[in-house]
C-alpha cells in the first residue's frame, strides 16, 4: 500500500469505548502503520470512568483505590482520569517518516491544543516543569484543562491527548492527577464554554491539519 505522508486518517467513535479495547485497537494500528498496510490515524473517543497509571506513577498518588477501575498502562506520565465528557484523541503518527523527535512532537501537540482552545474562546498556557495545558486563574493556583501522554513503538506514537470538555470534575478526587500536588483541574464547562463534541472535533482537526501540514480523511474503525 502506497502511503501519502501528507495525508492521515481520522475516526470518531460516538459510543463509549472500553479502555482495554482501545489499547488493542491502537497496538494493532501501530503494527499496520509500521508495515505500511494502513495510514496514520487520529481517533476521537471517550472512555467510561477509569483511572490510568502511566509508567511514572507512584502508588501514593492513588487516593481512592475503589472509586473506579484502575489500569496500568504503557504511556508516559502518572495517574490520570478518563470518563464521559472528556474528549480523547489517540494519535498514531510515524515519527521516523516525519523526522520528529519525541520532544519536538510533544511541543507541536501542546501548540495544537493551545491554538484549538483559543479558537473556541479559551486562553491557555504551558507551565514550566509541568506537563499538559493549563488555565491561569490569576492569584489562584493554575488548573489543568488538557493532558498529554504518549508511548512510542517502532517509531510510531500511540495514546495521545485528553481535553476536559464537561466531565464530572469530582471524579478527579481519587488521584493526584499527573502528580500535580496543589493544582486543580478545570473544564470548558466550568469556564462557561458549552460545545458539542462535533464542534470540538472540527476545531481540533482543522488545527491539526494546519500545525502538522497534513490533510485528513475520515475512516470507520472497528470498535
Range of the domain at 90: 7-218
Do the domain assignments include residue 120?
Answer: yes
First to last CA, the chain: 23
Cα 198 to Cα 41, 151, 186, 205: the distances in Å are 18, 27, 20, 11
pLDDT of residue 109: 97
CATH classification at residue 39: 3.30.930.10
Count of CB atoms situated within 10 Å of the CB of 60? 7
pLDDT of residue 63: 86
Do the domain assignments include residue 121?
Answer: yes
Do the domain assignments include residue 223?
Answer: no
pLDDT of residue 113: 98
Do the domain assignments include residue 29?
Answer: yes
Cβ pair 205, 42 in contact under 8 A: yes
Do the domain assignments include residue 1?
Answer: no
Do the domain assignments include residue 118?
Answer: yes
Active site residues: 178
pLDDT of residue 9: 98
Q: Would you tell me the crossing angle of helices 102-119 and 197-212 to the nearest 10 degrees?
A: 130
Kindly write down the DSSP assignment for every residue of 38-88, as one continuous string. Answer: S--EEEEE---SEEEE-TT--GGGB--TTSS-EEE-SSSSSEEEE-TTEEE
pLDDT of residue 4: 65
Instruction: Give the residue from 55, 51, 54, 38 showing the smallest Cα distance to 1.
Output: 38
pLDDT tens per residue across all 223 residues of the chain: 555 668 999 999 999 999 999 999 999 999 999 999 999 999 999 999 999 988 888 888 888 888 899 988 888 788 889 999 999 999 999 999 999 999 999 999 999 999 999 999 999 999 988 889 999 988 788 999 999 999 999 999 999 999 999 999 999 888 876 556 667 899 999 999 999 999 999 999 999 999 999 999 999 987 6
Name the domain count of the chain: 1
pLDDT of residue 151: 95
pLDDT of residue 139: 77
Amino acid at each position: 500500500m502506497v502511503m501519502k505522508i501528507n495525508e492521515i486518517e481520522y475516526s470518531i467513535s460516538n459510543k463509549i469505548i472500553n479502555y482495554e479495547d482501545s489499547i488493542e485497537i491502537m497496538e494493532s494500528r501501530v503494527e499496520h502503520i509500521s508495515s505500511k498496510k494502513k495510514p496514520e490515524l487520529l481517533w476521537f473517543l471517550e472512555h467510561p470512568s477509569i483511572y490510568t497509571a502511566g509508567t511514572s506513577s507512584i502508588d501514593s498518588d492513588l487516593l481512592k483505590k475503589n472509586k473506579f477501575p484502575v489500569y496500568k498502562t504503557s504511556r508516559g506520565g502518572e495517574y490520570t482520569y478518563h470518563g464521559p465528557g472528556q474528549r480523547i484523541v489517540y494519535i498514531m503518527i510515524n515519527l521516523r517518516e516525519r523526522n520528529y523527535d519525541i520532544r519536538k512532537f510533544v511541543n507541536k501537540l501542546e501548540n495544537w491544543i493551545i491554538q484549538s482552545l483559543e479558537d473556541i474562546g479559551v486562553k491557555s498556557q504551558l507551565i514550566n516543569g509541568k506537563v499538559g495545558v493549563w488555565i491561569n486563574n490569576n492569584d489562584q493556583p493554575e488548573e489543568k484543562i488538557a493532558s498529554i501522554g504518549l508511548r512510542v513503538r517502532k517509531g510510531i506514537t500511540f495514546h495521545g491527548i485528553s481535553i476536559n470538555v464537561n466531565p464530572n470534575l469530582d471524579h478527579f478526587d481519587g488521584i493526584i492527577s499527573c502528580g500535580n500536588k496543589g493544582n486543580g483541574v478545570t473544564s470548558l464547562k466550568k469556564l462557561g464554554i458549552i460545545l458539542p463534541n462535533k464542534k470540538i472535533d472540527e476545531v481540533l482537526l482543522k488545527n491539526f491539519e494546519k500545525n502538522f501540514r497534513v490533510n485528513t480523511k475520515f475512516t470507520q474503525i472497528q470498535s
